[in-house]
Amino acid sequence: MSHSNLAIVVPFPNRKAPGPFASQIFFRSSGAAIAASEFSYSRDQEIYGEGEPAEYVYQVIHGAVRTYKLLNDGRRQIDAFHLPGDVFGLDSGDAHRLTAEAIIDTSVRIMKRRTLETTANADVATACNLWRMMADGLRRAQDHMLLLGRKSAVERVAAFLLEMDRRLSKTGMVALPMCRRDIGDYLGLTLETVSRTLSQLHDDDILSFSGARHIVLHNRRRLEAMNA
Amino acid sequence: MSHSNLAIVVPFPNRKAPGPFASQIFFRSSGAAIAASEFSYSRDQEIYGEGEPAEYVYQVIHGAVRTYKLLNDGRRQIDAFHLPGDVFGLDSGDAHRLTAEAIIDTSVRIMKRRTLETTANADVATACNLWRMMADGLRRAQDHMLLLGRKSAVERVAAFLLEMDRRLSKTGMVALPMCRRDIGDYLGLTLETVSRTLSQLHDDDILSFSGARHIVLHNRRRLEAMNA
DNA sequence: CGCCGGATTGATCAGTTTCAAGGCATGTGG
DNA sequence: CCACATGCCTTGAAACTGATCAATCCGGCG
């Protein structure tokens, strides 16, 4: 799989983005070609650190990745969860502005930034796709600022559940790769508040559990109404 | 001034960005040319609304602009304040995702998105500048998510003061164009909390007032320490 | 079977919001 | 030129939401 020819193609440009930097990257034998390799990371392993030179762009093959920022005293804000198909590490000038870690065992495809830049300079389609991915990231960040700045705990958790349902629900079941603390650090809440809110939604028959990380949504409409 | 030839040029690519979409746009007689016009808006006038087709990109000439999102019940999150030189309206695919309003009487330079796109397709320098502006916006959003999700009221206000000091302090005096409510809606606080926090910083001799909207910072180091 | 990390739940606490009153500056009209 | 109206800002007191501290509890795994 490594060192194959690669081009960036967005299969359905008009479809709603399924997640952060949502465009899919597919292998293709013709057209602009970019060398790519596969890498694997185990649970909690760092992929890159804030401030490190940003040499590569990544696409999740399977697993899940969190990107975050820290304050001196350890407070953490998770910027985004990256799921299979998502591209991350594209934001960044010379240096990464976030830390990226595997949430669970994860494999990624990596591409050299420089190669990507060169390709984008020559190939308008590639440039457009990169632009679209960047714009998606910005849109997500803007929506998330509204959540962090103005939504209540229930509204945040409802938004999170709907996002995850949309992005990783296969069989009507949401299988969360991340722990309660990660969810809290994504939503600007404590893990206890996340847990309490989920329990409350369970009591209200809006969802049910099969183990803490497997959730079935029973009433998306009510969740959407809560999302404000 | 209207319908002059225009090209996007970043004067000091390596300098720290002074604000959102910080690159400066200058008139130039040669090189890629884009028709631009000037427009004026009075205090509180809407420039564009969320959901409207995004036909233009804007650059503040003088004045100040807020871009924000609303929830159904009127809760508001201000995404950014745009000051002279700043470009806004660049995020957006076909439709604006934010509402833009003049905070005070404001004049802007407008450029057609399509023209800009066409130019960017042909001119690598223009494309790079657009990319840089977009990346700056994303970086700002990421920093702001950390603030909204994890910082205390004092830390938020300290961050705001340092940002405004950097961006619009001429004579050591920060002349704020926006009211306390705007500041609150930017920082995810109420206007009362903003006011109380500023009073507290005044009591601690970190700043002084010449009227509510003219602030002199006396101890940037302490503010920076508070910024966490 | 028992261990261990993660999750839940409870009780209390703190920070911020909310509600309410009053002050100050600006500008307008008498 | 002054009085008053208006909008913004400050300040106070009380209420509330979510955080913190502290036990369990549960489930997956050795």
pLDDT digits (tens, 9 = 90+) for B83-116: 999 999 998 789 999 999 999 999 999 999 999 9
Q: Return the pLDDT at B24.
A: 53
Contacts of A75 in chain B (CB under 8 A): 150-151, 228
pLDDT band at A170 (very low <50, low <70, confident <90, very high): confident
As a whole number of angstroms, the distance between CA B86 and CA B65 comes to 10
Share of chain B above pLDDT 70, in %: 85
Please compute the mean of the pLDDT values over residues B38-65 and round it to a whole number: 97
Burial class of residue A202 (count of CB atoms within 10 Å of its CB; 0-12, 13-18, 19+): middle
Q: By the 8 A CB rule, do B43 and B105 touch?
A: yes
Mean model confidence pLDDT for chain A: 88
Among A108-117, A130-139, B7-16, B144-153, the range scoring the smallest mean pLDDT is B7-16
Nucleotides of chain C in contact with protein CB (under 7 A) are: 6-11, 15-20, 25-26
In this prediction, residue B40 carries a pLDDT of 97
User: Which pLDDT does position B214 carry in this prediction?
Assistant: 96
Helix (H, G, I), strand (E, B) or coil at B73: coil
Task: Enumerate residues near strand D (beta carbon within 7 A).
Answer: A 152-154, 188-190, 192-193, 211-212; B 179-181, 191-192, 194-196, 198-199, 209, 212-213
**A69 forms bridges with which residues in the sheet?**
A77
| A56 bridge partner residues | A112
Nucleotides of D under 7 A from a protein CB: 8-13, 17-22, 27-28
pLDDT at residue B19 greater than cutoff 60: no
Q: How far apart are the first and last CA of chain A?
A: 44
pLDDT interval class at A6 (50, 70, 90): very low
> What average pLDDT score do residues B191-205 get?
98
| pLDDT tens for each residue of A53-71 | 999 999 999 999 999 999 9
Alpha-carbon distance of A48 to A97, in angstroms, equals 10
Element (H, E) at A207: strand A207-209
Q: Phi, psi at residue A8, to the nearest 5°?
A: -95, 125
With a threshold of 0.85, does the pTM exceed it? yes
pLDDT at A11 over 60: no
What does pLDDT average to over chain B?
Answer: 88
Residue A27 confidence (pLDDT) above 80: no
At how many degrees (to 10) do helices A153-168 and A124-150 cross?
A: 150
With contacts defined as CB-CB under 8 Å, which chain B residues touch A124? 121
Residue B97: the pLDDT is 97
Dihedral sign computed on CA atoms, order B107, B108, B109, B110: negative
What is the model's pLDDT at position B18? 47
Identify nearest nucleotide to residue B198 by CA to C1′ distance: D10
Query: pLDDT value at position A171?
Result: 87
Kindly tell me if the per-residue pLDDT of A32 is higher than 70.
Answer: no
Type of residue at A153: A
The DSSP line for A47-75 is EE-TTSB--EEEEEEES-EEEEEE-TTS-
A150 touches strand C (CB under 7 A): no
| Beta-carbon-side half-sphere exposure of residue B100 (alpha carbons within 13 Å) | 27
CB-count exposure of residue A201 (10 Å: 0-12, 13-18, 19+): buried
pLDDT tens digits, residue range A201-216? 999 999 999 999 999 9
CA distance B120 to A202: 51
Q: Residue B192's pLDDT band (boundaries 50, 70, 90)?
A: very high
Strand partners for B87: B59
* Residue in chain B lying closest to A150 (CA): B188
Q: Which pLDDT value is given to residue A24?
A: 53
Pull the structure tokens for residue B63: 């004045």
Between B221 and B27, whose confidence is greater? B221
pLDDT score for A33 = 53
% of chain B beyond a pLDDT of 90? 79
Cα–Cα distance between A194 and A156 in angstroms, integer?
9
**With contact defined as beta carbons under 8 Å apart, do B160 and B193 qualify?**
no
pLDDT at B30 over 60: no
Statement: residue A14 has pLDDT above 90: no
**Hey, is B1 helix, strand or coil?**
coil
- Range B43-62 average pLDDT: 97
The answer to whether A91 contacts B143, with C-beta atoms less than 8 Å apart, is no
Compare A25 and A207 and report the one with higher pLDDT: A207
What pLDDT score was predicted for residue B56?
97
pLDDT in the model for residue B73: 97
User: What pLDDT sits at residue A20?
Assistant: 53
Q: Is A2 exposed, middle or buried (0-12, 13-18, 19+ CB in 10 A)?
A: exposed
